[in-house]
Amino acid sequence: MSFVVVNVLSVPEGRGDVLEQRFSGRAGSVEKAPGFERFELLRPVEGTGDYLVYTRWRSREDFEAWTASQAFERGHAQASGRPAADGPAATGSTIWSFEVAQATDPA
């Protein structure tokens, strides 16, 4: 079964649009990584201001290989290299990881 990583981003009020715009302009190299299965940016609707960055991988090893890659480093350096005047879109990050225990595909 797949391995899922969720990056929980603390986004200050009014910065959600900035975060979404930055993700829309991301390099997209994760899609080329061996074992990559899915990416989703989840916008909060109620109960939290946190955004979730959901990625699914064939295995934990594939995810770990991605995080050790130069493509990962370049993508995250690009995000941190924003002009100081623009400021951060997120003020904190927490990583959750899961092994898929059960799954159902649409019929």
33-88: per-residue pLDDT in tens?
A: 999 999 999 999 999 999 999 999 999 999 999 999 988 887 766 555 555 457 78
E strand residue ranges, 1-107: 3-10, 36-42, 51-57, 92-99
CATH number of the domain at 72, please. 3.30.70.100
Number of domains in the chain: 1
Half-sphere exposure at residue 39, Cβ-oriented, CA atoms within 13 angstroms: 13
Is the residue at 19 inside a domain? yes
pLDDT in tens, 75-105: 766 555 555 457 788 999 999 999 999 999 8
Closest CA to 56 of 82, 80, 38: 38
9 burial level (CB within 10 Å; 0-12, 13-18, 19+): buried
Is the residue at 87 inside a domain? yes
pLDDT, average across residues 15-33: 87
Is the residue at 106 inside a domain? no
Residue 33: Cβ within 10 Å count: 18
Expressed as residue numbers, the domain containing 20 is 3-99
